[in-house]
Each structure stands twice: as C-alpha cells, then as structure tokens.
Structure 1
Amino acid sequence: MKRTILALGLSATLLGCTTQINESGFIAQDESTIRYSQVLLSKLSAQTPNHDIKPIELNVEDENVVLHGLHLDNKNTNNTILYIPGNGMSVADSAEGPLINLAKYEFDIVIFDRRGLGATKGPATIANLIKDANLSYHFTKDKLSADTLIVHGFSLGSFVAAQVAKKQPIDGLVMEGSATNVDEWVDEAMPWYAKVLFDVQIDKAFYSVDNKQVLRDAYRGPLLVIGGGQDKQTPISLTHKLFSASQSTNKQLIIADEAGHNDMFNNKEVRAAYQTFLSHF
C-alpha cells in the first residue's frame, strides 16, 4: 500500500511564489484497504496478555460507511482509552508500538481506522474525521459500556481528540506530539527564507480545528500534554504554547528531551506521568 506521507505533515504544492496547503494532500490515504489478519491479531494478543483482542465495527449509517477497529478488552476494568492515531497511522501501524505501550496501563483501549486507511474504506476529510471520532466516543460509551473514558490523540489525532473534548463529556484528555493551530504550525515549520519567497495559502478546512482555542475556551477537564524535545514535526515551542493556553486547573506538561515525534513513550518520565494521570480515575 502506497501512502502520501509529506514532510512536516504539510501538503505543499509550489505554484510560482505561492505555497498551497490543501486538505486533500494533507490527509494520508491508502490505495486500498486491508482487513486485520490473524497474524496481526495473534501477534498483538501475545504482546498484550492482559487484554482480549476483539475486532469491532461502527456503522456510519447516513453515509453507508463502516469504520473498522479493535477493542483491547481488559477483563478487570471498563475504564477505557480511546486512542486517535496520527496522520497515516493505521490500526496495524499502531499495533507495532502505541497499543503495546498503552496496554501496560491496564485500561481498555479502543482504536479505529479512519476513512481511507487500514481496514476502513472511503475518502477522509477533516470534517468526517471529527464526525467519526465523535461517533467512536458514543460507540465506546454506549456499546462497550466504558466507565471512565480518556481520549488520547497523537499528532494529527490530537486535533481530532480536541474536537471530541469540545463536544463530549470526556473524563480526561491526552495530547501527544501536538500543535496549536495551522497558522502557528506553518510559522514554525517554514524556514525564514521560505516565508520571504512564498505566499502561503491554507485550505479553510484547517481552520475548523484549533487546539489552542479548544483548551483556552472550551475544555476545562484533566489534561496531560506530552512533547518531544527533538520533535521536528511538532516543534516543542508549540507544545509549550498549547499547554499555556489551557485553562484547566488539573493539567500537566511532560517533555521527553531526547525524543522525536514517534518515541516519547521510550522516556521513563513520560511513562510515569501517564501512569499518574490514569491513576486519578
């Protein structure tokens, strides 16, 4: 499967002196979908021995779309992490690291392949990513009987997670490898000489998701922000700005100084902070 994964998570087409950042090029898509193999499920099961691995489906009835995902069911709890992965990260990709990391915390875990990725068909837009994530929230609460529900968004998934937190009564929010909003992200991502040379035109769809605005104006619940000191995709300056914007009285910032975008949970302070965060529920 070939994916369009673009530098810094930005899709930019140079047209003369104009740089266009387009929704259609930004969201990574698989050329075809593939269902979860027994090899994948068996491997994940062996690495998460305290969980039962259950394929799940969520029908988006008004659009004739079926979201495919996994429920990692811990028999000792109904407390649940709804994990929303980053751009281009399928459930199968997440099984190589994030799901194994999260399973150590003895919560249930729910993850879905969003449209156009992994096992789920259909073109993805920012609007339907948000719609489907909210449906995933209700599915997890209503169908899987989640008690405490923590929403954990990684990278692009953090923007989707924040929109769930904006609308739904979640119990806690984790933002890992996150940024503030598209304007500040582009400002940090582009070198100074590019800003001089090019006029940046940004698809209006990106302005529908603003993590800084959500944390400042809407979400007041428990918050954990995780950043990597060597993260080149979401610079650490944006992590600090995001945390500063939050009006929550129960918030924590943890930085893995040596970590890049994908290896923050290799840091023992990050793992300890995550454990402490979950222990409050």
Structure 2
Amino acid sequence: MQLVRRLCSLWLVVSLSACTWQVREDNIVIPRAAPSADLAALRAQLPAYRIEETRIAAADGAQLYSLRFLRSDAVATVLYFGGNGYTVAKHAATSAKAYAEAPVNFVLVDHRGYGASTGTASLEALLADATTVYDSLRKDRELGAMPLIVHGHSLGSFMAGQVAAARRLDGLILESSVTSFDDWGAYMRSRQKLWARILVRRVAPAGALAGKGNQQVVAALDEPVLFVAGENDTATPPRFAEALYQATPQPAERKRLLIVPARDHTNAADSPEFRRALAGFLAEQVRPRPAG
C-alpha cells in the first residue's frame, strides 16, 4: 500500500510534463535497513519452533540475513520471499501465523539492502539472490531432504517466479502478483482521473522492469502452483491472479486459485482461507522426495 501511495503522489507531477510515464526500478525496489530479529522474543512467542539465525552468501559477497523456523513434524519446507516493505525483524511473527497450522518448516530472508542483509539492492540482484538462496536450502542436509515450496508475495512473487523458471520446484505459491509490469502500469493509469489519463497516455516500465512479470513464467510451469490474492487488493487486484491462473498450462488438479474475501494486498495469507488452502495444497500436491 505504501508503494501505491508513492506512485499516486508522483502521478500529478509526471502528468503535467509528459505523455508517457516511465516506471523506474527505484519506484519498485525501495530498500530499507532494519536490525536483525529479536530471537528471544520470537522463541518465547513461538515455542513450537526451533528458530535458527543464519546468513547466506550471495555471488558478489553480500550477506543475506535469514531465519529458519523448524518443527519436528515438518513434511516440507517453505521458502518465503516478502514484498517491498518486508523485513524479517518486523514481519516474522505475522509470517508464522500463516504457517502455524501447517506441518512445515519455513525460511525467511531479507532482500539485499533490506532489513539486516548487506549489499546494494536492484531488481536483477534480488532475482539472482533468490536462486542462490533456494540452492543453499536444497543443499542443506536437513531441509533439502524434504519437499521445498517457494512462496513469494508482491515484489517477492517475481523472485519466486525467477526460481521456478530456473529450477524444478516441489510447489510454488504466488501471492499478490501481476502478469507483467506493462499490464500493471496500464492498471495504475486506469485508476487515475480522466484529465490525468488524457495527459498521461501510457505508463511504461523502464530499464530492468521492461519485460518482467510472471506471465511468461507460469506459461512454462511444471510444478503445482497456488495463486493467492485478496478480494479488496487495489495494488495488484485479483484479476492479475486470475489471468496468471488461466495462463498456466497445468491441468486443473495441479493448479489452484484462491481469492480471499475481505483481504487486501498485505494480508491475504493471514486468513483461515489461506491456511485451509495451504493444507489442501500440501496434502494433494506436495509429495515426499525420493530417498538419496
């Protein structure tokens, strides 16, 4: 929601000077530093988990701060990539609520330049880091032996999509995602008043944003996928999730679409509907990995 307000505030200035507004990378990737998580508080609040703090080395030497929430009855691990405002220290407890009823480990990571991670943030670097993080978990003796599901929300959904395009996953969850930045730009333009739409004829992604989105990713998916959106999401409305679902060439039993009533861009996963959908997704789609 913060991103939407920022973009809308920029609209007036841009609309007075140009017929095309170019959405730049710094409109989308907005890093914010934060301390590491309060482990004592989390452990007291979430006694069912063994919580471990670690750092994952990126290719350029950046250190990606990560928390692992481990439970003895886990049948799978979820790697979660949060949205633009996500930091592990601030949102770990909320993420835990989404997975509390599921027999899964879950792993949270601060994007580079965000939270307690080092490095300089850029979209290309975040996408590359996502695959690095996935590979590090897959090589982990404890976590890599069980199914590994990747869940991405908003900005993190592009990171999850990047991993799905590069690796064969055991399951994918795309929450509050979009087909492409071009489609999203057209949607943002459609929200403006008539006079602004007359002055700004087109919203176009520039630089690293050009051509990015999950439309092409889902067209080649070979893993089960769950699409999630909040009914009241005005940042990435449900029609994007519906379009991605339709573009996925998987049979109906390998893909699911969940539109959560009375939820918005930030809290669709914090709902009984998501927890039920996750339980079904695990039971029906996620299979144990072969031994060895």
Q: Relative to structure 1, is the Cα distance of residues 25 and 70 closer, same or farther in structure 2, using a 3 angstrom cutoff? A: same
The 8 Å contact of residues 21 and 201 in structure 1, kept in 2 or not, is answered as: yes
Stretches of structure 2 lacking an aligned partner (at least 5 in a row): 287-292
Which residue is 1:99 aligned to? 96
Q: Give, in whole Å, the separation in 2 of the partners of 1:64 and 1:208.
A: 28
Which residue is 1:128 aligned to? 125
**TM-score, structure 1 as length reference:** 0.89
Q: Deviations over 1:35-78 (max 9, x none)?
A: 33xxx222222333221010011112x41211111011112336
1:27 aligns with 2:29: yes
Deviation at 1:29, TM superposition (A): 1.3
Which residue is 1:234 aligned to? 236
CA RMSD of aligned residues (A): 2.1
**TM-score, structure 2 as length reference:** 0.86
Runs of 4+ in 1 over 4 A off after TM superposition: 8-13
Which residue is 1:89 aligned to? 86
Which residue is 1:182 aligned to? 181
Q: State how 1:1-281 maps to structure 2 within 5 Å.
A: 5-7=2-4, 10=7, 12=10, 14-15=13-14, 16-17=17-18, 18-30=20-32, 32-36=33-37, 40-60=38-58, 62-77=59-74, 79-143=76-140, 144-146=142-144, 147-190=146-189, 191=191, 193=194, 194-198=196-200, 199-216=202-219, 218-249=220-251, 250-280=254-284, 281=286
Stretches of structure 1 lacking an aligned partner (at least 5 in a row): none
Q: Give, in whole Å, the separation in 2 of the partners of 1:33 and 1:227.
A: 27
Q: Give, in whole Å, the separation in 1 of the partners of 2:272 and 2:238.
A: 18
Identity over aligned pairs, percent: 30
Q: Deviations over 1:125-178 (max 9, x none)?
A: 111111111011011110253210000011111111011001111100001111
Deviation at 1:273, TM superposition (A): 1.0
Q: Give, in whole Å, the separation in 2 of the partners of 1:81 and 1:258.
A: 25
Q: Which structure would you say has the larger RCO, counting Cα contacts within 8 Å and 6 or more residues apart?
A: 2
Q: Give, in whole Å, the separation in 2 of the partners of 1:209 and 1:201.
A: 12
Q: Give, in whole Å, the separation in 1 of the partners of 2:210 and 2:171.
A: 24
